[in-house]
Amino acid sequence: MSRDKVSGDKVSGGENLSADNGYALTVSDLSWHADDRAILSDISFSLAKGEMLGIIGPNGAGKSSLLRCLYRYIKPDNGTISLFGHNTSYFSAKEFARQVAVVLQDTPHHFELTTEQLVAIGLTPHKGPFDLTTSSDRRLVADALEKVGLTHKAGQIYEHLSGGEKQRALIARAIVQQPKLLILDEPTNHLDIRYQIQIMELLRAIGISVITSIHDLNLASAMCDQLLLLDDGRCVAHGTPKSVLTEQRISEVFDVCCSTQPHPQHGNPQISYFYGYSYGDSTHDKSANDEAAHDETNHDENAHGLKALGQNSLGQNSLGKKAFGQNSLDKTDFEENSLDRRHWSSMERHKQDED
C-alpha cells in the first residue's frame, strides 16, 4: 500500500476508509525484540468489526507488548498492522486518536483536574485549537460519567478517586473519544466484582471493536467473542472461548490443575482451579502451617520445583486436607471429578517426584 493512497482526506477524514474489509484490525507476522530477546514472534490475527478480543496469557507472555504495538507505542521489527484496511503507520496522530482510544493501567498524574475535566480530555481529537466546548460536548461527558457510575464524582479531583474509580474515569474518557477501536490493558484490575462485570458489559454494549488484555479467564470466557492466548511471545491459540479454553491448554500454558464445564448461563467454559501445588518458594503459603511448610521448603520440592501448598509435616494442607498428589486422593476421585487422564497423569507425576 502506498502512502499516497491513505494520506490526505481518505484517512484524515475518518469517514472514507474505503479499504475497509470487514475487519477492524488485521495483524500479520508481527514480531518485536528488545535487549536481544524475542518478546513477540510471528503473531497474526484479525478482529471483526464490533467484536471483543481478549488477550490472555501468563505473566510476561507479551500481552502489554502486543497492545503497545497495536496502539503504536512500540514499532515492531516485522509485520503489518491494518486498521479498517489501512496500515496504521500511515495515520496521522490526530486521526489515529479519532479511530483508537487506549485505556492503560499506569497513566500520567493529573493533579489538578476534576474527574469531569479528565473525561473531557477525550474530546481533544475532535476539536480544533480554538474550538469552544459545546452543550453537546458537555452532554457526551455527562453521559460517559453516568455510564461508568461516576456522576457523583464529577467535581472531585481525579487524583483523589480510588483505584477502581480512576479506572472507570479513564474508560469514560475513552468513551468520550468516540473511537472505532478501543484498546485496554487489564481494565478490570482495580475493580470489585460488580464493576468488573459492569465495565465488561459496558464495553460490549458500546458496540465498537474492543481489544483488551485480561487475567481473569472466567471473565474473558464470559465476555469476549474471541480470545488470543499468548505464551512466551507466541500465539498459542486464537478463536472462540470454547475453542481456546480447553483444560489441557490452560494446564500447559498456566501450569495449573483445572477442570472446565459449560457455564450455566452463557455456555462458554467455566474454569475451576484445583489447589495444592505452588512453585517452590513458601512466600505464597498463607496457611496456619507456615512454620511447618517453611521447615520443609527444600526437601519437599519435586523435580519441577513444585511444593505442596501449605503442607505441614503430616502432608496436610491448611484445611487439614491432603494436598493433591498426596495419598488421600486416588484415581477414582479424579475421574469422578471429571478430570481427564492428562490431569491424572500430571498429578501422578508430581506424586512420584515427591516420593
Choice between 39 and 148, CB closer to ligand ATP: 39
Choice between 63 and 343, CB closer to ligand ATP: 63
Q: Applying CB under 6 A, which of residues 13, 20, 34, 305 lies at the interface with ligand ATP?
A: 34
- Fill in the DSSP letter of residue 230: E
Q: Applying CB under 6 A, which of residues 59, 136, 283, 332 lies at the interface with ligand ATP?
A: 59
CB 308 to ligand ATP: min, Å = 25
Q: Does 81 bind ligand ATP (CB under 6 A)?
A: no
Q: Applying CB under 6 A, which of residues 63, 153, 180, 350 lies at the interface with ligand ATP?
A: 63
Residue tagged 502489554 (cell numbers): 64
Radius of gyration of the chain measured on its C-alpha atoms: 24
Q: Does 235 bind ligand ATP (CB under 6 A)?
A: no
CB 182 to ligand ATP: min, Å = 18
Choice between 106 and 336, CB closer to ligand ATP: 106
Q: Applying CB under 6 A, which of residues 26, 52, 53, 57 lies at the interface with ligand ATP?
A: 57
CB 276 to ligand ATP: min, Å = 23
Choice between 61 and 306, CB closer to ligand ATP: 61
Q: Does 61 bind ligand ATP (CB under 6 A)?
A: yes
Choice between 2 and 59, CB closer to ligand ATP: 59
Q: Residues touching ligand ATP: how many (CB under 6 A)?
A: 11
Task: Tell me the one-letter amino acid at 353.
Answer: D
Q: Does 35 bind ligand ATP (CB under 6 A)?
A: yes
Q: Does 76 bind ligand ATP (CB under 6 A)?
A: no
- The residues that bridge with 83 in the sheet, in sequence order, are 25, 86
Choice between 231 and 354, CB closer to ligand ATP: 231
CB 57 to ligand ATP: min, Å = 5
CB 203 to ligand ATP: min, Å = 19
Burial 123-162 (b: 16+ CB within 10 A, else e): bebbeeeeeeeeeebeebbbebbebbbbeebbeeebeebe
**Strands of the chain, DSSP E:** 23-34, 37-48, 52-56, 78-83, 86-87, 100-103, 181-185, 209-213, 226-231, 234-239, 257-262, 269-274, 277-279, 306-308
DSSP string, 15-62: S--TT--SEEEEEEEEEEEETTEEEEEEEEEEEETT-EEEEE-STTSS
Neighbours of 198 (CB within 10 A): 17
The answer to whether the beta carbons of residues 354 and 347 sit under 8 Å apart is: no
Choice between 116 and 186, CB closer to ligand ATP: 186
Which of 214, 209, 208 shows the shortest CA–CA distance to 191?
A: 214
Q: Does 62 bind ligand ATP (CB under 6 A)?
A: yes
State the residues that interact with ligand ATP by CB under 6 A.
34-35, 39, 57, 59-65
